[in-house]
Amino acid sequence: MVSVKSPSSTASTARATRNQWNGADFLAYRDRLWLALLLPLTLLALWQVAGAAHLDSILFASPQDVWAALVSVFRRGRLANALSSSLLRAVAGCTLGIVFGLAFGVVNGLSIVSERLTDTTLKMVHAIPSLAVVPLFIIWFGIGELSKILLIAFATFTIVYISTSQAVRNSDPRLLEMARTQRLGVIDRIRHVVLPGALPGILEGLRYAMSVTWFVLIAAETIGANSGIGFIATQARDYLQTGLVLLCVLIYASLGLISDFLILLLRRRLLRWHPSQKQRSQ
């Protein structure tokens, strides 16, 4: 004899199962969070112990010195102005590099003729260190905002291009053939077949490009800048304010961590259908 459950009992069972999974997810997240914070907290404790050893504050600033520097620049309004200037440069330059990198990557990934014409040259450009072209950019574009934005775009463009072109070339040929048999146009083929299949590789390229953005921004803001986090660090270096220099380093590290976290959130949202993302969420 088969027993039939009532709708109310089925709903209560499903609700209990959902609550159980939510609790398990929370515990797993809490364990991952503590594990991720273990090393930073240990380093902070060692830093505090070293600061309590009464070392030379000019050579080695303690956490209290860094906190005092943070309070000082925050109260005077310098921190907000510097952050806004640095973020505008980073976003403008990185966006410019991403747009051109995606465009060239998709075209060269789909067109053999375009790849043969431009791929070697673009890879040569990628091999040039970003800091090596700083003098040229200053000569060509001056020491204003344009040179800083273009320097960031130069550094991120080839990174996004290489990751995008490789991801497009690795698209499943069966899906492309199916799109041809369905007589999809070029735009629809790129939108519905090529880009979704290449999205994991593209997002990895964006993640790497964001990390390079902060590296190049530091170099750009320490050369001929009158605002930004790098400008504050340069002034602090001239006046031997080690606590303020360390504060700027921590700010850059925090910006890099936040941008990486945002890219991971974007990846999780856009790749919910992808098998690799399903394995990560388990």
Please tell me the predicted confidence (pLDDT) of residue 55. 62
Which of 18-27, 60-69, 148-157 has the largest mean confidence?
148-157
Output the six-digit token pair for 18. 């959902």
Q: Does residue 87 carry a pLDDT above 90?
A: yes
Which of the two residues, 247 and 197, has the higher pLDDT score?
A: 247
User: Which residues, including other chains, have CB under 8 Å from residue 52's CB and lie 6 or more apart?
Assistant: 62
**Residue span of the structural domain in which 235 resides:** 63-281
Tokens 């602090």 appear where?
Answer: 236
- 49, 135: one domain: no
CA angle (189 as vertex; 108, 269 as ends), nearest 5: 90
User: Of 31, 54, 77, at which residue does a domain stop?
Assistant: 54
Please tell me the predicted confidence (pLDDT) of residue 84. 92
Output the six-digit token pair for 185. 């146009």
The CATH number of residue 246's host domain is: 1.10.3720.10
- 17, 103: one domain: no
- 45, 98: one domain: no
User: Of 11, 31, 54, at which residue does a domain stop?
Assistant: 54
- 161, 90: one domain: yes
Average pLDDT, integer, range 235-257: 89
Q: Does residue 82 carry a pLDDT above 70?
A: yes
Alpha helices per DSSP H over the chain? 7-51, 63-75, 78-110, 112-126, 134-141, 145-169, 173-181, 186-189, 195-221, 229-238, 242-270, 275-281
Question: What is d(CA 58, CA 237) in angstroms, rounded to the nearest whole number?
Answer: 10
3-state SS assignment for residue 143:
coil
Half-sphere exposure of 171 (CA within 13 A, CB side): 27
pLDDT in tens, 7-27: 444 445 445 444 444 554 545
- 268, 205: one domain: yes
Tokens 């499903």 appear where?
Answer: 14
- 177, 238: one domain: yes
pTM for this predicted structure: 0.76
- 29, 82: one domain: no
- 47, 163: one domain: no
- 79, 101: one domain: yes
Contact 231, 272 (CB under 8 A): no
- 33, 130: one domain: no
Average pLDDT, integer, range 226-234: 88
pLDDT in tens, 210-219: 989 998 988 8
Lowest mean pLDDT segment, chosen from 86-90, 96-100, 197-201: 197-201
- 39, 87: one domain: no
User: Of 54, 72, 94, at which residue does a domain stop?
Assistant: 54
Q: Does residue 104 carry a pLDDT above 90?
A: yes
Q: Does residue 150 carry a pLDDT above 90?
A: yes
Please tell me the predicted confidence (pLDDT) of residue 266. 86
Please report, as a single letter, which amino acid is at residue 37. Answer: L
- 144, 16: one domain: no
Question: What is d(CA 176, CA 116) in angstroms, rounded to the nearest whole number?
Answer: 21
Q: How many domains is the chain built from? A: 2
Which of 153-157, 227-231, 233-237 has the largest mean confidence?
153-157
Average pLDDT, integer, range 147-172: 90
pLDDT band at 168 (very low <50, low <70, confident <90, very high): confident
